[in-house]
């Protein structure tokens, strides 16, 4: 008997997924390992003391710039407030005048309503005689002219009041913008100073000592340059005096008719610059007052935005010092640098203003021998220091 073939279909083979599972597991393990390695990676290297010093100096400089913005905004805000107050006072006065004009018109209107108005023909027939009619008509014409003038005055005052109100609205908007800028500048100063304090607070005692050492080194180098400038200035003055003496003695010491009368000495040994002696004397007197005031402020704290008398920022000190000498200069360093004559560093004289940094964010008062008096920065007091402590931008002589 023949064997019958089987009609069952062969069972399909199931492919094992074990390798895929193994690959996925390996990938997850790799990601976990990388994450662990990243978490255990070494932190960013700590900045060196030199880098910290540069960072702190930069922050204080930025705070100084923000302080000048604050001073500028504060001055603008005060000026705008004064203008707004003046406009509001003017509007109040104009409102009183407008009300007076309105009352005058009201009186005319009430009188006309109370007395009524007759046609000219009726008035003529009701008059006692023709002359009375003409007299009454003339009076009425004058009253009509007065009423018309009252209306004109009212309209004029109304237009002027409206114009002043519009001007006050614009000024108030400007004041609001100035106050917003003032708040922003104040916040910028506070942020920069807070960042500097945070940076310094993270230093160890040894790092702080190292930072102080770098600061002393910086001051010593600045003092050395100041001494060099003092020697050069002394040599230049001695040479100028020698030449002046030679010129004076060679012009005929016996007559004394030239420069002697100009200087007021009558000796005939003048320098030839006698015609300027009055202005030079005045400048010297002003410089003496400037320095006397500045010296009296030494030891008072730097406070940004302050103009005295108990504390100052840099431009507040210079403004107050020159005011003591009878000279008014602007509030900010950016405006003070444009006052007076520009002076080369080698030609500096006591009382001159020396400005620092490319953005002109700091200023000091030259006292001679390469030194200045200035309000340095937050946390420091008004003091004497070399003008080479900071990069010099330029110098001016007010007055």
Instruction: Say how many C-beta atoms besides its own lie within 10 A of residue 168's C-beta.
Output: 18
Residue 286 near residue 349 (C-beta atoms within 8 A): no
CA 67, CA 313: separation in Å to the nearest integer?
A: 8
3-state secondary structure 25-78: HHHHHHHHHHHHHHHCCCCCCCCCHHHHHHHHHHHHHHHHHHHHHHHHHHHHHH
CA 399, CA 396: separation in Å to the nearest integer?
A: 10
Closest CA to 75 of 164, 168, 185: 185
CA 115, CA 1: separation in Å to the nearest integer?
A: 150
374 in catalytic set: yes
7 in catalytic set: no
Structure-token match 């000048």, residue found: 68
Closest CA to 314 of 296, 328, 294: 294
Residue 221 near residue 387 (C-beta atoms within 8 A): no
DSSP string covering 153-192, please?
Answer: HHHHHHHHHHHHHHHHHHHHHHHHHHHHHHHHHHHHHHHH
Instruction: Tell me which of 7, 69, 138, 374 is the catalytic residue.
Output: 374
138 in catalytic set: no
Q: Name 386's bridge partners.
A: 371
CA 291, CA 284: separation in Å to the nearest integer?
A: 11
Instruction: Say how many C-beta atoms besides its own lie within 10 A of residue 386's C-beta.
Output: 22
DSSP string covering 237-290, please?
Answer: HHHHHHHHHHHHHTTTTTT--SHHHHHT--SS---S-GGGHHHHHHHHHHHHHH
Q: For residue 4, with 0-12 CB atoms within 10 Å meaning exposed, 13-18 middle and 19 or more buried, which class applies? A: exposed
- For the annotated catalytic residues, the residue numbers are 314, 362, 374
């Amino acid at each position: 008997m023949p064997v019958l073939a089987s009609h069952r279909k062969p069972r399909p083979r199931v492919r094992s997924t074990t390798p895929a599972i193994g690959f996925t597991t390996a990938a997850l393990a790799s990601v976990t390992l990388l994450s662990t390695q990243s978490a255990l990676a070494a932190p960013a290297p700590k900045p060196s003391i030199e880098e910290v010093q540069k960072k702190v100096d930069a922050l204080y400089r930025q705070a100084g710039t923000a302080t000048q913005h604050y001073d500028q905004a504060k001055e603008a805000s005060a000026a705008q407030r004064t203008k707004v107050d003046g406009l509001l006072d003017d509007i109040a006065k104009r409102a009183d005048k407008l009300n007076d004009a309105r009352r005058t018109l009201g009186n005319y209107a009430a009188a006309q309503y109370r007395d009524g108005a007759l046609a000219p023909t009726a008035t003529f027939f009701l008059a006692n005689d023709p002359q009375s009619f003409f007299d009454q008509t003339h009076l009425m014409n004058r009253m009509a002219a007065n009423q018309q003038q009252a209306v004109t005055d009212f309209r004029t005052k109304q237009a002027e009041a409206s114009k002043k109100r519009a001007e006050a609205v614009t000024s108030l908007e400007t004041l609001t913008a100035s106050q917003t800028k003032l708040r922003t500048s104040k916040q910028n100063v506070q942020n920069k100073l807070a960042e500097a304090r945070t940076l310094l607070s993270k230093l160890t005692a040894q790092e702080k000592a190292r930072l102080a050492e770098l600061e002393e080194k910086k001051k010593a180098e600045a003092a050395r340059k100041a001494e060099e400038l003092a020697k050069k200035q002394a040599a230049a003055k001695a040479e100028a005096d020698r030449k002046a003496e030679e010129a004076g003695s060679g012009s005929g010491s016996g007559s004394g008719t030239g420069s002697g009368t100009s200087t007021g000495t009558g000796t005939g040994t003048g320098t030839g610059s006698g015609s300027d002696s009055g202005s030079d004397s005045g400048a010297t007197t002003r410089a003496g007052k400037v320095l006397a005031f500045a010296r009296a402020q030494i030891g008072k704290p730097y406070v940004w935005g302050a103009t005295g008398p108990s504390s100052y920022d840099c431009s507040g000190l210079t403004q107050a010092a020159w005011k003591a000498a009878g000279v008014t200069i602007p509030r900010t360093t950016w405006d003070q640098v444009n006052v007076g004559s520009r002076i080369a560093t080698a030609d500096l004289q006591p009382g001159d203003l020396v400005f620092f940094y490319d953005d002109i964010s700091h200023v000091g008062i030259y006292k001679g021998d390469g030194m200045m008096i200035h309000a340095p920065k937050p946390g420091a007091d008004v003091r004497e220091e070399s003008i080479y402590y900071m990069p010099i931008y330029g110098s001016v002589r007010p007055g």
